[in-house]
Amino acid sequence: MKFRNYLSQASLMLISLSMYAQTPLQLKHIDSLMKTASDRGVFNGTLLVAKQGRIIYHKAWGYANADKTQPLNTAMLFDVGSISKEFNGVSIMLLKERGKVKLDDPVSKYLPDLPNWADKVQLKHLLNYTSGLPNFKAQSDETDNELLDSLKNLKKLKFEPGSAYIYAHANVYLQKRIIEKASGLSYADFVDKYIFKPCGMQQSIMDANLNRPDLAKAFDNDFHSTPYIQLTTGFPRLTPADLYKFITQLEAFKIINKESSDQLAVNFPGGESSLGTTGFKDGKLQWHRHQGSNSNYEALIYTDHVSKISMVMETNNQNFKVDAIKGAILAILQDQPFNIPKKSVYLDIRDKILKDIEQGLSFYRQIKAEGQDKYDFGFEAGDLISTGKYLQRRNRFDDAIRLYSLAVPLCAKKNDLSYAYELTAECYLKKGDNVQAKTWYEKALAADAGNKNAQGMITTLK
C-alpha cells in the first residue's frame, strides 16, 4: 500500500513537473519566432526567458550600432526607459521600512525651498503620479538644475493632489532628491549599495558613460543613429540578466517586504504605478508588467506567477512589438498557435506626419490600402492615438487633435474612445482654451464613467 502511494505521489510529481518543463520543440519555436521578428525588422535586441526560476532561453539578435559593425550580445547594457522608475520607487520604500520617511510626508519636509504647493504634495502622490505636477520640457531637454528652477517657479499645481494623474518626470526627480536628503547618499550610491549589490547586479551601472563600448547604441528603422543625451541624472543601464535578478528579488520580497511592494503597486485608475502595471488575486501578485522606452531604446519585464514564466526584453531599435513577442512566447510555452509580429504603423508614419501632415496621412492611407500583409493594423486606433501623442509632445496641438479625430471612429472599446477625447482635451488645455478643454473632458467622462482623470480635471476647470 505504501509502495502504491509512493508511486501515485511520484506520478503526480512528474505530471506537475511536465506542466512547467519546456521542450526542445518549444525552444526551437522561440528561435524561429525571434529570427523571423529580426528578419522583419521588428526586433533588434536581447531576450531572456525563465521558467520555474530557471533561465531557459537567453540570446541576442541584431546589431549594437547603426552601421552594423558590432553584433549584439547578451552582456551589453541598455537604457530601459520607464522601468528605471522602479528603482526610485523601491528606494523610497526601503527608506520607509527604515523609518527615514513616511508616505504621507509632504515634499516640503525634505525640500523646504519649494513653493507652497510642496506642503500639499505627499510622497505617495509622487509614487503614483497624482501630485498635480506638470510636464515642463521633454526629459532629454532639461538638466537637473533647470527642472529644479521650473519647480521653484511653479505657482500652481494642475489639480488637487490625489484627484487626477499626469505621468510627469518631475515626480521621479523629486523622489530622487528626497532619497538623497533622507539617506545622506547620492541617489546613484544609494541604489548601488541597497539594490545593485544585494541583488548581485554586477554589470549594472548608474549614469553610465554613453560612449562605453558595452552600451548598445540606438538607431531607427532606417539604420540612422539616434541622438542620445542624458541631461538629468539617476538612470541605470542594465543587462537583461541583471534586470531579471532585480525583478526576481523584488517579487520574492527580498528587497522590500510585501506590504511595501503592495503599496508601490497602487495606481490611479487608468494610470501606471511605480511598478508599471500589476494584477492581484486574493492579495497575491498574479502578474507584473512594465514597458519602458527612451530615444529608440525599449524594454519589457513580465512575470506570470501562475505559469511561473518570466521574460526580459531589451532593444536598441524601438518597434513597440515587445508585448506582441511576449504574447507569442507565452503561446509557444503553452503549446498554442502563435503569431509573428508585423511592422508598426505608428513608427512608420509618425515622423512623416511630423514633417508634413498631408504627405504623412497620404502614406498612412496607402499602406492601409496596400500593406496589410506587412503592417499590423490590429489596433489602428492605438497607432493613430500614439501618433497624436507624438505630435502633442512636440507642441503640434492642432495636428494632434486631427489624429485623435481620425482615431475616434476606430475605437472599439469605451476606454480607448474616452482616452482619445481626454487627449483632445489636453491639447485644448495646452492651447489655453479651457472652455473646449472642459467640453472634451466631459465627453471623455461620458464615454467612460470610470475615467477618474477626466473627472478630476473637470473639477479643476470649474
Quick one: pLDDT at residue 391?
A: 98
In terms of domains, do 288 and 355 share one? Answer: no
**Residue 372 vs residue 231, higher pLDDT:** 372
Which residue has cell 508598426?
344
Query: Considering the domain boundaries, does residue 15 fall inside one?
Result: no
Which residue has cell 508614419?
349
Quick one: pLDDT at residue 231?
A: 82
In angstroms, how far is the first alpha carbon of the chain from the final one?
Answer: 77
In terms of domains, do 138 and 269 share one? Answer: yes
Assess whether pLDDT exceeds 80 at residue 13.
Answer: no
Quick one: pLDDT at residue 138?
A: 61
The crossing angle, in degrees rounded to 10, of helices 380-392 and 397-407 is 170
In terms of domains, do 214 and 351 share one? Answer: no
Q: How many domains does the chain have?
A: 2
Query: Considering the domain boundaries, does residue 76 fall inside one?
Result: no
Assess whether pLDDT exceeds 70 at residue 3.
Answer: no
- Report, as an integer, the average pLDDT of 397-422: 97
In terms of domains, do 103 and 155 share one? Answer: yes
Band of residue 21 on the pLDDT scale cut at 50, 70, 90? low
In terms of domains, do 309 and 404 share one? Answer: no
Query: Radius of gyration over alpha carbons of the chain, in Å?
Result: 23
**Residue 196 vs residue 10, higher pLDDT:** 196
Close Cβ partners of 292 (under 8 Å, ≥ 6 residues apart): 80, 81, 82, 83, 84, 85, 298, 299, 300
Query: Considering the domain boundaries, does residue 325 fall inside one?
Result: no
> Quick check: 62 and 42 in contact, CB under 8 A?
no
Would you call 403 exposed, middle or buried from its count of C-beta atoms within 10 A (0-12, 13-18, 19+)? buried
Close Cβ partners of 72 (under 8 Å, ≥ 6 residues apart): 44, 45, 46, 60, 61, 62, 63, 64, 216, 316
Quick one: pLDDT at residue 449?
A: 95
In terms of domains, do 246 and 123 share one? Answer: yes
- Report, as an integer, the average pLDDT of 94-105: 98
In terms of domains, do 212 and 151 share one? Answer: yes
Assess whether pLDDT exceeds 70 at residue 406.
Answer: yes
- Report, as an integer, the average pLDDT of 139-167: 90
**Could you report the per-residue pLDDT of 110-119, keeping only the tens digit for each?**
999 999 999 9
Band of residue 19 on the pLDDT scale cut at 50, 70, 90? very low
For the chain, the average pLDDT equals 93
| Strand blocks (E) in 320-391 | 343-344, 375-376
Q: How many CA atoms lie within 13 A of 146 on its CB side?
A: 13
Identify the CATH number of the domain in which residue 148 sits: 3.40.710.10
Query: Considering the domain boundaries, does residue 12 fall inside one?
Result: no
Which residue has cell 508601490?
264
Query: Considering the domain boundaries, does residue 42 fall inside one?
Result: no
The reported pTM is 0.83
> Quick check: 416 and 382 in contact, CB under 8 A?
yes
Identify the CATH number of the domain in which residue 439 sits: 1.25.40.10
- Report, as an integer, the average pLDDT of 197-204: 97
CA-to-CA distance for 23 and 352, rounded, in angstroms?
Answer: 44
The crossing angle, in degrees rounded to 10, of helices 169-183 and 144-153 is 100
Assess whether pLDDT exceeds 70 at residue 9.
Answer: no
Query: Considering the domain boundaries, does residue 203 fall inside one?
Result: yes
Per the DSSP assignment, residues forming a β-bridge with 281 are 284
- Report, as an integer, the average pLDDT of 239-268: 96
CA dihedral 322, 326, 327, 333 (to 10 degrees): 160
In terms of domains, do 104 and 233 share one? Answer: yes
- Report, as an integer, the average pLDDT of 406-435: 97
- Report, as an integer, the average pLDDT of 340-349: 92
- Tell me if residue 311 falls in helix, strand or coil: strand
Query: Considering the domain boundaries, does residue 167 fall inside one?
Result: yes
Band of residue 17 on the pLDDT scale cut at 50, 70, 90? very low
In terms of domains, do 308 and 380 share one? Answer: no
In terms of domains, do 279 and 355 share one? Answer: no
**Residue 222 vs residue 3, higher pLDDT:** 222
**Could you report the per-residue pLDDT of 28-86, keeping only the tens digit for each?**
999 999 999 999 999 999 999 999 999 999 999 999 999 999 999 999 999 999 999 99
- Report, as an integer, the average pLDDT of 343-361: 95
Assess whether pLDDT exceeds 50 at residue 312.
Answer: yes
In terms of domains, do 398 and 275 share one? Answer: no
Percentage of residues of the chain with pLDDT beyond 70: 94
In terms of domains, do 256 and 212 share one? Answer: yes
- Report, as an integer, the average pLDDT of 355-365: 97
The full DSSP string for 383-450 is HHHHHHHHHHTTT-HHHHHHHHHHHGGG--SHHHHHHHHHHHHHHHHHTT-HHHHHHHHHHHHHH-TT
Assess whether pLDDT exceeds 50 at residue 349.
Answer: yes
Domain final position from 300, 318, 336 = 318
CB neighbours of residue 295 within 10 Å: 17
**Could you report the per-residue pLDDT of 271-283, keeping only the tens digit for each?**
999 999 999 999 8
**Could you report the per-residue pLDDT of 172-188, keeping only the tens digit for each?**
999 999 999 999 999 99
Helix (H) or strand (E) holding 459: helix 452-461
Query: Considering the domain boundaries, does residue 314 fall inside one?
Result: yes
- Report, as an integer, the average pLDDT of 7-21: 43
- Report, as an integer, the average pLDDT of 354-364: 97
Residues, the chain: 462
Helix (H) or strand (E) holding 18: helix 2-20
Quick one: pLDDT at residue 139?
A: 55
Quick one: pLDDT at residue 200?
A: 98
- Report, as an integer, the average pLDDT of 296-322: 97
- Domain range for 437 is 344-461
Quick one: pLDDT at residue 230?
A: 83
